[in-house]
Amino acid sequence: MKMKLSIIVLTMFLAGLMCGLPASAASPDVAVVVNPANNTASLSMGELRKIFNGEKRSWAGGASIKLLVRSSGHERGTLLTLLGMSESDYKQYWTSQIYKGEAQSEPVALPSNGMQKEALSVYPGAIALIDAAELKPGMKVLKIDGHLPGESNYPLH
């Protein structure tokens, strides 16, 4: 059992190194990733919350924000924590937003990080929460409150 755990930890460490992140990125941090053409480099937690609750609908350059969320998993839990909602609150919130005409639809829910990565490359205004251990070279990761995943004081776990 110890050998198996050691292999898992080593694999996560190497994945973090391959992504060009510090070794501490093997922690369960959740990265905020945008389309590579997006000019944004950092967000505050308040701005991130406004984006994922649909209050902020466009980027500084005018591109519409396209929310990509996981349908389940660790990233989904991080999203719900960020918004201070339960799963049922989240569903009710987006149903209400659509009913009031504040949104056309709820965010695109995808079953895997791989599908999120593909969608990020297709939609210029896309933003997603992705497990930092799943980051690949070329993905644009935003700083949150001045920190990247793996750094001390990074707020998303």
What's the pLDDT tens digit per position in 93-136?
A: 999 999 999 998 999 999 998 999 999 999 999 999 999 999 99
List the domains of the chain with CATH numbers. 28-144 (3.40.190.10)
Phi, psi of 100, rounded to the nearest 5 degrees: -80, -5
What's the pLDDT tens digit per position in 19-74?
A: 444 444 344 899 999 999 999 999 999 999 999 999 999 999 899 999 999 999 99
Report whether 133 contacts 26 (CB < 8 A).
yes
| Rounded Cα distance, 133 and 17, in Å | 10
| Rounded Cα distance, 103 and 106, in Å | 7
Report whether 26 contacts 39 (CB < 8 A).
no
Task: Kindly state the DSSP code that residue 148 receives in the 8-state scheme.
Answer: -
Q: What is the pTM of this model?
A: 0.81
Residue 142's SS3 state is: strand
| DSSP symbols for 10-71 | HHHHHHHHHTT--GGGGSS-EEEEE-TT----EE-HHHHHHHHTTS--B-TTSPBPEEEEES
